[in-house]
Structure 1
Amino acid sequence: MLRHLKPLALASLSLALLAPAPTPAAPRDGGDRLRMVPGRHLPYEYVVKKGDTLWDIAARFLKNPWQWPEIWERNSYITNPDLIYPGDLLVFDQRDGMLKLKVVRAGPQARALPLEAIPTVRAELILPFLNRPGIATDEELKHLPYVLASKDARVIFGQHDVVYARGFDADAAQRYDVVRLGPELVDPGSRRVLGHRLDHLGVAEVLDDGPVRRLRIVEAYQEIRPGDRLLPQPARTGLHFMPRAPAQAVNGVLFAAEQSVNELGQGAVGIINLGTQAGVEPGQVLTVYRSGRRIDDPVTGKPVVLPEEAIGTVMVFRPFARVSYVLVMDSIQAIRLGDSVRSPAAGERQARLER
């Protein structure tokens, strides 16, 4: 019995991620630019299982997993194309020269317990980076309220202490992350400071109103001091995102990592020198390129730079003003700090993985 249609998405995360999918590009040269993974024969069926991710399912079918939204665009009868559940049956087939997808699910008797939609990626890889303050620019920090003092003239504060703070605006929040300026993030090309990592010191709740307010420190991970900044905690709305290519041309560098490493593998988190000011959004997928080596031509003796190579794929999952956290989705060799990132081109993932 055919099962009722049901849509695809990221399970609720503790930070809102909103990324509407852009209108997909039209097929080029009259053909279908979507391609199945080599060795798959149509029609191809797959039953979604608990533990699956959207990226893994897309990579199971498509040479370019980031083209998944184009599949959904071809199914106009699906009203919310960003939710897939364990037990859903995915059927890939080809009609009129176009790759098509049908999503069907079992009747209510097959769902004894409520199910959560499958995540885009393994949540444990990115949740630590969504649950902490992250990165801020100098301009942003200037406008944040800050810890002023305590009533007993102490200069070190901890959990349960009540402190005074100032610098609040009219629509101030009730709960804040207490942060301190961390290391600079410097653009490798321009040498401009793109922002600062923020050390997460604790959490504080506002007790009253006024230009100078009392706050209680409800969590303390490090010593808190006068001058430490207060960053409003984001609303935990659990919105969804879908992997896709950027609508605009994107060209940047992966220049930092969240750990003290120079090389990144699949599942690692890095930082690129592009953020919301450059139009970067959660869910956008970028190709990582390694510059070619410089050698001496064995015939002419003159220096030659070998062509660059595509070596991996990253996905933006948390953008800031000038930088973004990215997750390494796949790679054929270790990704190094200094490798470039650009908008993907159709077919390049096939070329990387089939060499």
Structure 2
Amino acid sequence: MSRLLSKVIIVFISLFAATQVVAQSPLKIKPQAPETYTVVKGDTLWGISGMYLANPWLWPRLWQANPEIDNPHLIYPGDKLNLIWVNGQPRLSLKPMVKLSPKVRQVEKQALSAVKDGLIVPYLESDILLSDNELKSVSRVLGASSGNRFLTDNESLYISGAQQHMKWGIYRPLETYTRDKHHMVVLKEIAVGEFKSTDDNMSALSITHQTQEILVDDIALPNIDDVDTLLSTNFFPSPAPDNSTAKILGGIESIDYVGKNQVVVIDRGVEDNVQQGSMFELYQPATMVKSNSKGSKVLKQAEKDKLQLPNTRIGSLMVIRPYQYFSLALITESQQPIGENAVVKAPQETTGNTTAQ
């Protein structure tokens, strides 16, 4: 058995086991959840999950896949969702509005994404995180024939190497994040271009869009539609592996605090059984109990025992692009600005409470 196959099996078993732990307690449906709902264009899986569940990441437990449909996990505009009960447990079943063959169905309709496409597609089209080793082999901006230091879209841009890809992104390195001996560099896209010509040493691009001036030695990466067949916008939310934790290393935009719909880098990835859609909850860390010279014996004893107050839940995040040791994650909910000191934990079904240890 290959090492890759062994790894896949281990990941599957771990995820299955985690799901079984979560599945032991009853699933709670929101009181205002509709018995029937017709999916409309613009809906997302996250939005529909939140319509029915206080904990939207428990979607896999609510969703009843329809075996009559080619891909039973995809939902399309026009589909009718029905809330039913099976052996005392809620289930959401699907009845397609029109019976179509799988091929016709996929051509005529676009399946629902996990969240709004605009929030995740830019992070799937090209690598936003690169390792030190990958950074050594990427193409670099060589300049323009004019010799200008700041390059604009009025002239051809030359990059290193003989290239063939038609679409390109120009990136600038920002932060470097570290986990043990692993290092990843965050890249910011500053321009996009199209292939014009090539020779043995360099290739010419025509810049079609840019958000700031391009500099010599900026990074050039091809934008490939099928960058990774395991990545898509049609994944669904599910709890991160039971009892797992993570750390927010920073935001993509190099800011100290982030909020809803912003993307952060966390120190967990495929090696930690994290996948697209893995959900974590965010908590504000509480302080230890502190006393003073006039404090009571009870308070002083609590300080001596290093008693810590409960953490306060402040939001949640969803992994949108896992790498081997790191991941890009979208803040899906935030009651306050989220900083690097936030406690990141696998969801607990008791959410609804505002505190947790």
**In structure 2, distance between residues paired with 1:211 and 1:137:** 27
Q: Identify which of 249, 253, 274 aligns with 1:280.
A: 274
- What residue number does 1:45 align with? 36
Deviation (angstroms), 1:266: 3.2
Deviation (angstroms), 1:255: 3.2
Q: Which runs of 5+ in 1 are unaligned?
A: 1-19
Deviation (angstroms), 1:328: 2.1
Q: Identify which of 260, 263, 266 aligns with 1:266.
A: 260
- The 8 Å contact of residues 129 and 186 in structure 2, kept in 1 or not, is answered as yes
- Mapping for residues 213-252 of structure 1, pairs under 5 Å: 213-219=202-208, 221=210, 222-235=212-225, 240-247=234-241, 250-252=244-246
Q: Give the residue type in structure 1 aligned to 2:47.
A: D
Q: Percent same amino acid among aligned pairs?
A: 26
- What residue number does 1:327 align with? 330
**In structure 2, distance between residues paired with 1:90 and 1:285:** 24
Deviation (angstroms), 1:154: 5.0
- Runs of 4+ aligned structure 1 residues displaced above 6 Å come to none
Q: Identify which of 77, 94, 101 aligns with 1:86.
A: 77
Q: Give the residue type in structure 1 aligned to 2:137.
A: H
- What residue number does 1:301 align with? 300
SS in 1 for 2:51: helix
SS in 1 for 2:239: coil
Q: Identify which of 140, 153, 158 aligns with 2:152.
A: 158
**In structure 1, distance between residues paired with 2:157 and 2:52:** 56
- The 8 Å contact of residues 32 and 98 in structure 1, kept in 2 or not, is answered as no
**In structure 2, distance between residues paired with 1:38 and 1:180:** 45
**In structure 2, distance between residues paired with 1:174 and 1:284:** 33
Q: Which runs of 5+ in 2 are unaligned?
A: 1-11
More displaced 10-residue stretch of structure 1: 226-235 or 207-216: 207-216
Q: CA 1:24/1:93 → structure 2, altered by over 3 Å: closer, same or farther?
A: farther
Q: How big is each residue's C-alpha offset from its partner over 1:30-81, in whole Å with a ceiling of 9 and x where there is no partner?
A: x86351224368x933332343321121122233321212334665555413
Q: CA 1:78/1:89 → structure 2, altered by over 3 Å: closer, same or farther?
A: same
Q: Give the residue type in structure 2 aligned to 1:228.
A: D
User: Is 1:66 equivalent to 2:35 in the alignment?
Assistant: no
**What is the number of equivalent residue pairs in this alignment?**
324
Q: CA 1:93/1:350 → structure 2, altered by over 3 Å: closer, same or farther?
A: farther
SS in 2 for 1:139: helix
Q: Which has the higher contact order (CA 8 A, sep 6+)?
A: 1
Deviation (angstroms), 1:212: 0.4
Q: TM-score, normalised by structure 1?
A: 0.74
**In structure 1, distance between residues paired with 2:158 and 2:118:** 36
Aligned-residue CA RMSD (Å): 3.8
- The 8 Å contact of residues 176 and 183 in structure 2, kept in 1 or not, is answered as yes
